[in-house]
Chain A
Amino acid sequence: MEERKLNERESLELITRMIQNTQQNTDVGGSNQFIIWGVTILIVSAIVGTLILLTNNMIFNFGYFLIPIIGYCWSKTLKRKERVVTHMDKMLDITWKVCGIFCLAVPIITSLLSTIFADDLIFKNGGLYAIIPSIEIIIVSLAIAMTGIIINSKSIRVAGFVGLFISFLTFISAPYAIHYTFAIWSIACLIIPGIKLNREIKQLKRC
């Protein structure tokens, strides 16, 4: 392509062609991110749950802080810089960044409040800690549902709403079972939809 003047009709044709080519060359990535974070949550929650079950020591709950560390490092190794970033990619990036910030903020704020207002009835005996898993699941499920809506994937949308349902199970399940509920949630709402999305993308590429 050179720097030549076009007539009006050629200009409109060129604009249409370039926009169509760009749309054909961009696809939705990120399904591996679902699998990476799902496996990280599954492994960490299974280990934390088992350690607490065996030792009855609640200090192992801090092990959950390994999720953002492992997940971030793992996803960084697989993430390659895309040659083209679509508006959809940007929207998804922002959605998950906000989700990540909220997920980190919830346990930190809860810990701070429980330390400062230790004698207050609501915080006594670490009462507020019990609702952390539910809040975390609700936040991530919301991000999953939003992702499903943005990328127009039914399986991801459904996973988000299933996650919302599972979050209520954590309220009624026994304290030890919460960790395993967390693990089941990661399989149902992150790993399986991630694998399904991977397949959908591969099928789309074949067409």
Chain B
Amino acid sequence: MLKELNPLLHSELRLAIMSILMSVAEADFTYLKEQTRATSGNLSVQLDKLQKAGYIDIKKEFAGKRPRTSCSVTQQGMVAFEEYVESLKAYIHI
């Protein structure tokens, strides 16, 4: 029987965020916004959901006088993402 896909990752924007964060050590809010072409509000909401699930870490700091929000994937997030990809492969028989 096929495993159910993780509903938290099975959404366009959250999956895009996780895919970016899986390939880098850290990315800031502006970079994620540029890459996903999402609105700031929507991106914030999705980042919050991923953080609450323990999939990403959000660090808020100041770069000079400007506030900077940087995100990185957690160990739990990596495991969830890998499981999600494995499930996807099973669905489309790769």
Interface residues of B, dominant DSSP: helix
Say yes or no for B92: interface residue by CB 8 A criterion. yes
With most chain A CB atoms within 10 A of its CB, the pick from B23, B26, B70 is B23
Q: Which residues of B contact A26 (CB under 8 A)?
A: 24
Partner among B20, B28, B38, B91 whose Cβ is within 8 Å of the Cβ of A18: B20
| CB proximity of B67 to chain A, nearest CB, Å | 12
Q: Which residues of B contact A10 (CB under 8 A)?
A: 12
CB neighbors of B among A16-41 (8 A) = 18-19, 21-23, 25-26
Interface residues of A, dominant DSSP: helix
State whether B27 touches A83 (Cβ < 8 A): yes
State whether B24 touches A86 (Cβ < 8 A): yes
B31-74 CB mask vs A (1 if < 8 Å, else 0) is 10001111000100010000000000000000100001010000
Report Cα–Cα, A90/B70, bound state, in Å: 14
Say yes or no for A81: interface residue by CB 8 A criterion. yes
A12 nearest CB neighbor, chain B only? B88
How many interface contacts (CB-CB < 8 Å) are there between A and B? 92
Q: How large, as a class, is the contact surface on chain B?
A: 20 to 34
| CB proximity of A18 to chain B, nearest CB, Å | 4
If A1-B36, A8-B91 touch, whether A87 touches B15 (CB-CB below 8 Å) is no
A22 nearest CB neighbor, chain B only? B23
State whether B27 touches A3 (Cβ < 8 A): no
Say yes or no for A5: interface residue by CB 8 A criterion. yes
Say yes or no for B76: interface residue by CB 8 A criterion. no
Say yes or no for A14: interface residue by CB 8 A criterion. yes
Q: Which residues of A contact B10 (CB under 8 A)?
A: 5-6, 11
Partner among B12, B14, B20, B42 whose Cβ is within 8 Å of the Cβ of A22: B20
Q: How large, as a class, is the contact surface on chain A?
A: 20 to 34
| CB proximity of B61 to chain A, nearest CB, Å | 9
Report Cα–Cα, A19/B30, bound state, in Å: 17
Give chain B's interface residues, CB within 8 Å of chain A: 5, 10-16, 19-20, 22-28, 30-31, 35-38, 42, 46, 63, 68, 70, 85, 88, 91-92
Q: Which 10 A-B pairs have the closest CB atoms?
A: A18-B19, A85-B26, A81-B63, A83-B31, A8-B91, A15-B19, A84-B27, A90-B25, A1-B36, A1-B38
